[in-house]
Chain A
Amino acid sequence: TQLLEQSPQFLSIQEGENLTVYCNSSSVFSSLQWYRQEPGEGPVLLVTVVTGGEVKKLKRLTFQFGDARKDSSLHITAAQPGDTGLYLCAGDAGGTSYGKLTFGQGTILTVHP
């Protein structure tokens, strides 16, 4: 069974601070996705990374996929209250599990004005 450990589980910071969320596994993933979820809604995809060592930037968000494709991180620069939400990482193991995502437990981010 593929497992994704996401940390921290909770993050409460002030507006303007930087933060990093980590997603780690002992297994290799063919691709990894990051989602953001608002209360009462389904998750919305932020980014997909597929290549080991890949770095993608989305405005103030920077996503990195580890060289061995076992870990990933999400870094937010100068966090804003609008960034508040649940952040989830999800990996696709590929092979016979192609398309079946394994999700991390999520990080609840609260950014205070």
Chain B
Amino acid sequence: GAGVSQSPSNKVTEKGKDVELRCDPISGHTALYWYRQSLGQGLEFLIYFQGNSAPDKSGLPSDRFSAERTGGSVSTLTIQRTQQEDSAVYLCASSLAAGGTYEQYFGPGTRLTVT
């Protein structure tokens, strides 16, 4: 079956440009998460969506970061006016529902490089 997919797999952008990262979760999964992983680091929570509830945006590092989830499925993470410190692998995950007992299935990530 199809897993979580993310696009693009790699993105190189110039400082100051906007980027959009896409996540296609597993069909039927109501919860969707975005994380950021810097070189040699663990995963840093950014935002999660659960059904029709308001998203938990508490992990977004600045107002340059935003995310939306359309139709309860596909999600887009947007980074405006990118900075070099935004360079990282951005991972998306989905689960049947929110909660630590529900397995989160991760996509392969988008490697973002800001030059």
Residues of A with Cβ closer than 8 Å to B? Answer: 4, 6, 29-33, 40-45, 48, 50, 88, 90-92, 94, 98-106, 108
Please judge, given known A-B contacts A6-B42, A42-B91, A100-B45, whether A48 and B101 are in contact too, CB under 8 Å: yes
| Structural contact, A48 and B45, CB atoms closer than 8 A | no
B67 within 8 A of A: no
Residues of B with Cβ closer than 8 Å to A? Answer: 4, 31, 33, 35, 40-45, 48, 50, 56, 58-59, 91, 93, 95, 97-109
| Structural contact, A42 and B93, CB atoms closer than 8 A | yes
B100: chain A residues within 8 A (beta carbon): 29-33, 48, 50, 91-92, 94, 98-99, 101
- Give the contacting residue for A45; candidates B91, B104, B108, B109; CB below 8 A: B104
B91: chain A residues within 8 A (beta carbon): 42-43
- Min CB distance, B58 to chain A, in Å? 7
| Structural contact, B50 and A105, CB atoms closer than 8 A | no
- Min CB distance, A70 to chain B, in Å? 15
Main secondary structure of the interface of B (DSSP, over half): loop
| Structural contact, A42 and B99, CB atoms closer than 8 A | no
Nearest B residue to A32 by beta-carbon distance? Answer: B100
| Structural contact, A99 and B109, CB atoms closer than 8 A | no
**In whole angstroms, how far apart are the Cα atoms of A92 and B56 in the complex?**
14
Nearest B residue to A100 by beta-carbon distance? Answer: B45
| Structural contact, B108 and A99, CB atoms closer than 8 A | no
**In whole angstroms, how far apart are the Cα atoms of A111 and B91 in the complex?**
26
**In whole angstroms, how far apart are the Cα atoms of A90 and B102 in the complex?**
13
**In whole angstroms, how far apart are the Cα atoms of A103 and B41 in the complex?**
10
- Min CB distance, A86 to chain B, in Å? 9
B50: chain A residues within 8 A (beta carbon): 99
| Structural contact, A105 and B106, CB atoms closer than 8 A | no
B107: chain A residues within 8 A (beta carbon): 42
| Structural contact, B48 and A99, CB atoms closer than 8 A | yes
- Give the contacting residue for A103; candidates B4, B31, B44, B103; CB below 8 A: B44
